[in-house]
Chain A
Amino acid sequence: MSRISTDQVKHVANLARLAITEEEANTLTQQLDKIITFAEQLNEVDTDHVEPTSHVLEIKNVMREDVAKPGLPNEEVLKNAPEHQDGQIKVPPIIE
């Protein structure tokens, strides 16, 4: 049984904001199915009483003083923006 369908792949691509082609959807279905099937070997491992590790070091809640600092200059912020106007980043229409 396959672990992931082409419809699921298209749904995930939408979540990931990728406009994949029909051909890519088919290829990705096969490739992801193979990778996920392999990854299911983890089900062999008994993890009932095991805590998850998200991070290897014992660092928690790193805080700093809540002091306002100057932000980036406007021209630097805009330096790499693909499109800008009047000191602001410009994007295509959000509401039609």
Chain B
Amino acid sequence: MSLFDQKVSDLHELLHKKEITVSDLVETSYKRISEVEGKVQAFLTLDEENARHKAKALDERIGQADEKGLLFGMPIGIKDNIVTKNLRTTCASKILENFDPIYDATVMGKLHQAETVTIGKLNMDEFAMGSSTENSGFKDTRNPWSLDRVPGGSSGGSAAAVAAGEVLFSLGSDTGGSIRQPASFCGVVGMKPTYGLVSRFGLVAFASSLDQIGPVTRTVEDNAYLLKAIAGHDEMDSTSANVAVPDYVSALSGDIKGLKIAVPKEYLGEGVKEEVKQSVLDALKVLEKLGASWEEVSLPHSKYALSTYYLLSSSEASANLSRFDGVRYGYRSPDAQNLLDMYKMTREQGFGDEVKRRIMLGTFALSSGYYDAYYKKAQKVRTLIKKDFEDIFQKYDVIIGPTTPTPAFKIGENLADPMTMYVNDILTIPVNLAGVPGISVPCGFSEGLPLGLQIIGKHFDESLVYKVAHAFEQATDYHKQKPQL
């Protein structure tokens, strides 16, 4: 039994009753890391000395007037594309192998205010491009449920570390499914908030119109607490939405009577494994028992989401990643004799294959003569995909389907052909294109591997998404299962 088997709110109470200390929580993390990290390989950098130091300082203040908030003293892991001041931030790329940020991302500032303790930085696909964490420039993270399988990606380290009990919770980022898909593969809860709800300042940009930071946790309640802590308007991010952040936890009443659920037929169609479909149909039965009703609907442009996504996200990436040129930070090729060669050799040697492939695709789609045919066309189809969601939300409260077409696949299985890897994200990508919030919660197992239920809401309707996810979680016990490591 680990302390991390308990919810944040319970741990907070134990801290206040002086039954545990912040140091106990932090040591729970590092002890577990020493036991299982050799197998799981979720972390790129540990921040042990600072974490222990901070834990001691926080322990002095438990119960005092300036100690506030439920997240006080809670150990957290951070995806390595979120910049952390004076703590190495690599994006799992050789090009940033020794990058030591001089400022904190806005979410880190908010976590400092909430007084969480950062345990370390988590592995990911290089620059968040991938669905398996195999594109990391440093190591393969393994799925705690089956070590020969991928944890999903790109936030594979964030999901694996939580599933393995190495941290209580973590932050990930989601551009096309990168929080929800690994959460599904690792049997944990992962939320991609509405675009604009969480500041992207200090999130190393992949596709700026799609990227969002979000929480990965063991329970829906913990997820709601963590989102509340990191959400909110930020003048440092011009795409940050100026909306009030509600108290998500107060929405977790369990009461979903009269809820109207839309189930897109495209999400239970071709390519979706039979056990996955069945787990969703079983989940819908659970929700019906709780007083919800569901109907089959259509999101007719779903089949175009993958193409749209790869054109748009790669185009944005090709522009965003132009900043890695060997001049101001990161790796510089020692071989070049002039500036132009320095750019080219630095980028050639510093980036991995998938990142180069996407930069190439994006540069092509934006290049003269092809811009209208590819980039602008994809932007127009994006409008239609977004409208599909708006139409459904005229009549229904939430959309439900699987998070992924299959459970976690084997390491190496999808590496040969980029297209087979891309298909993993067909059920999560439309949500990013529409900018709406989506969560993945555990909803079953297939041959011992976790499956995830995806619940999608209207813009800024995270409260309802959490309410439904929580009601489902409380009526089932999938979230109580843990991997044997």
Contacts and interface: CB of A to CB of B under 8 A. Distances in A.
B152 to A, nearest CB: 21
Interface stretch (B24-32, B245-253, B320-328, B400-408): B320-328
Contact of B102 (A12, A36, A55, A76): A76
A87 interface: no
B380 to A, nearest CB: 4
Contacts of A91: 327, 339, 342
Interface string B295-332: 00000010110111011000000100010011111111
Contacts of B19: none
A40 to B, nearest CB: 8
Contacts of A28: 356-357, 360
Contacts of A16: 318, 347, 359-360, 363
Interface residues of A, number: 52
Contacts, number: 164
Contact of A19 (B332, B345, B386): B345
Given A17-B325, A17-B347, A89-B327, A53 B383 contact: yes
Interface string B39-76: 00000000000000000000000000000000000000
A-side binding surface: helix, strand, loop or mixed? Answer: loop
Contacts of A70: none
Interface in A10-40: 12-20, 24, 28, 31-32, 34-36, 38-39
Contacts of B379: 52-54
Contact of B374 (A15, A39, A52): A39
Contacts of A9: 360
A77 B241 CA distance: 30
| Chain B, interface residues (CB within 8 Å), range | 35 or more
Contacts of B238: 59, 62
Interface string A68-96: 00001000110111110000010111101
Contacts of B344: 14, 17-19
Given A32-B360, A32-B364, A80-B328, A92 B383 contact: no
Contact of B341 (A19, A24, A50, A79): A19
B336 interface: yes
A67 interface: no
A83 B326 CA distance: 9
Nearest to B358: A35
A1 interface: no
A82 B384 contact: no
B70 to A, nearest CB: 29
B347 A47 contact: no
Nearest to B384: A50
B394 interface: no
Given A79-B102, A80-B100, A45 B301 contact: yes
